[in-house]
Amino acid sequence: MNQVLGDKRAILILLGPALLMYSVIMVIPVVWSFGFALFRGNLIEGFTFVGLANFARLIQDEQVGSAVRFTLLYTVVISTGQILLGYSLALLYTFVLRRSSSLIRTLVFFPVVLPSVAVGLLFSRLFAVAPNTGPVESLLTLFGVAPFDFFAGAGTAFWVIVVMDLWRSMGFYGVLLFSGLVDIPGEILEAARIDGARGWRLIRSVVLPLSLPILVSSIIFSLNASLKVFDTIVALTNGGPGSQTTPITLLMFQTSFFYSSFGYGSSMAILISVMCLTVTAFIFKYSRRDLTVAEAA
């Protein structure tokens, strides 16, 4: 092995194709995108260098501010829901259902394999009041609630999005966290039980610390996916009513491809990247804390 890894040609042959592919589809476009953020123009007339003007506009643009606020609110609510529901499902699979959890796991996981757009359309029909009244609206009418349009108000539309995305993704986080819980050695759990740990005490003092690595990974997955949410919202509300459920990703897409402002859209893409990197770095920093050192101090 040392001989192979000591040979520069072998390293080049092994890493070269992957590095080349990564550079072509990841590094160059990101650098290019940053470059575009310094220009204004269109594909027909060409582009003009405007320096940091797009970033200055980004800071002052109320619609960007609104989209960022929506994205952050969505991220906090969805990630909290995904991790809590996912962890609860994982505990259910591990400690309650145990070996008979396969069927439930499959059923709960099923929405994950559905296309996001199909899920969006499904929920738009479920909560519709027009052109046809959906089941939820019909049910509310049965209980004497006056008909109203879930998608006409920012608040109600937001909670429909939350319900949809949690239903769609909780199975994934359930399985992901379940894989961490099954790796906890049975002997440790048994020892804890003998020591009198039960219920919440067992989870807090034994299960949670031992599943922390997979929990941190899940949080990073969840936060990054939530910050970059796009397809389900497009399919369900298309950012409406008005632009009140428009995340920054959708605003970037509209700005670039509907309004043909590639430079300004690129500056939004950079903003999204910075948001994702910041959150990831923050979590890494606090999850890599050496607990032993902290306790000793």
Partner 1 sequence: MKHAVRRSSSNTSRHLIIGLTAVSLIVGACAPAPAAPAPTTAPAASQASSASIKYTGTDPDKFSALLTTENTQVPAELQRLASTSCASENAALPLAIQQTPGAQIQQQIQLLASQNSLPVMFNPTQALIVKDGALQKAGYILDIKQALGDQGVSDQMLPGAQAVIDQLYPGVSPTIPFQYNIEGIFYNKKMFKEQGIEVPQTWDQLVASANKLKSAGIQPFTAGGKSGWPVSRWIGAYIFRSLGGDAMAAVANKTAKLTDPGYVAGAQAIQDLGKAGLFPVGVASEDLPTAYNDLVTGKAAMEYQGTWLLSNINDPKQNTVGLDQVGLMQIPVVSGGKGDSGAWPTNVGSPHAINAKLYGPKVGAWLKCIALNYADSLMTNQTAYSGFKASHPPVLAAPTPGTAPPPVPPLTTDVANYMASAKSSVLWFEALSPSAKFTADAGANSLLLLNGSMTPLEYMTALQNDLDNPS
Ranges within 134-153 binding partner 1 (CB under 8 A) = 147-149, 151-153
Q: Which is nearer to partner 1, 23 or 179 (CB)?
A: 23
Q: What's the rounded Cα separation, in Å, for the pair 76 and 215?
A: 16
Binding segment toward partner 1, per CB under 8 A, in 161-169, 170-178, 179-187, 241-249: 241-249
Residue 42 found at the interface with partner 1 (CB under 8 A): yes
Residue 156 found at the interface with partner 1 (CB under 8 A): no
Residue 26 found at the interface with partner 1 (CB under 8 A): yes
Choose which of 22, 110, 159, 257 interacts with partner 1 (CB under 8 A): 257
Report, in Å, the least distance between residue 32 CB and partner 1: 5
Q: Which is nearer to partner 1, 226 or 266 (CB)?
A: 266
Residue 161 found at the interface with partner 1 (CB under 8 A): no
- Per CB under 8 A, residues contacting partner 1 are 25-26, 28-30, 32-34, 36, 39, 41-50, 57, 61-62, 128-131, 147-149, 151-154, 228, 239-244, 248-249, 252-262, 264-266, 268-273, 276
